[in-house]
Amino acid sequence: MYSLILMNRLIVSLDIDNLDKSIELIDILSPKIEIFKVGIAPFTSFGNQLLDKLRSLNKKVFLDLKFHDIPNTVKNATKAAAQKGVYMMNFHCLGGLRMLQAAVAGVKEANVQEIPLLLGVTILTSMTTEEMQNVGLGTTMQDEVIALAKLAQDAGLSGVVASPKEVKIIKEKIGRDFIVVTPGIRFTETAVSTDDQRRTLTAKQAIAEGADYIVVGRPIIQADDPLAAADKIIAEIEYAERNYE
C-alpha cells in the first residue's frame, strides 16, 4: 500500500465539464488521491459544489485560477479563496511584484488556521519559446522561468508552477525548499505529447528532476480505468523516489 506522503505528491486535475462526472471521478479516485485541482472551467460552472464535495471527503484542493489583475483585486480574491479552505492556489508571475505581494497580504487578512501554499505561474507548459517571444518576452525559456521564479520568491510565495523541464534549474538557482509544482505529465509511452501541452516529461522524470508535486489530468481522467491510471503514475513516483532522491 502506498504511503500518504507518496500519494500526496500526485494532484489530479478535474478538467471535466460535467458536475456528475466530476463527482463520480472523485469517488473513484478518493482511495488513492488526496489532492484534486479545480481549474477555471469547472470552477466557473460549478465550483462551490465541487469544493463542497471535496471538503466532505477531507480532500485537499489546488485552486487553479491563475489570478492576474491589479494588486487590490488579487488581494481580495486571495483572501476569499483562502477562506474557502483551499490547500494551494496560483498567480501569474507576469502580474508583477506588487501583485504577488498583495496575494501574500490577502492570505494574512483571511486569518485562516491553515495557510494555503501560494504559487507563482511562470510560463505555461503549452507555450514554446517562439510563442513566449511573440508576446514580448525576448529571453530564453529557461532565463524567463528563473526570473519569474525569483520574483515569486522575492514576493514571499511558497513556490511556482513550472514545466517539468525547468524543475532542476529552479531548484539549483532558487533553492531546494522552494516548491515546484509541475503539470504537463504524460505516461512513458506518450512522453512526446500530441495535445496542447508542449514541454512535458513523465512522472518518473519529473520527480527525478526534483518536482515536489505533479499534476496529471487527461492521462487519468480520460482513461478507461482512472484508478489504474493513477496507480501507474503513483508507481512511477515511487520508483523515482527510491532511485533518484
Exposure of 226 in the CB half-sphere (CA atoms within 13 A): 21
Concerning whether 173 is annotated as a catalytic residue, the answer is no
Write the CA distances from 28 to 11, 31, 90, 102, 229, integer angstroms.
14, 7, 26, 38, 12
Give the C-alpha separation, 165 to 171, whole Å.
12
Q: Which amino acid would we find at residue 186?
A: R
DSSP 79-127: HHHHTTT-SEEEEEGGG-HHHHHHHHHHHHHHT-SSPPEEEEE-S-TT-
Q: Beta strand pairing status for 159-161 and 201-202?
A: unpaired
Catalytic residue among 37, 53, 66, 165: 66
Q: Which residues are catalytic?
A: 66
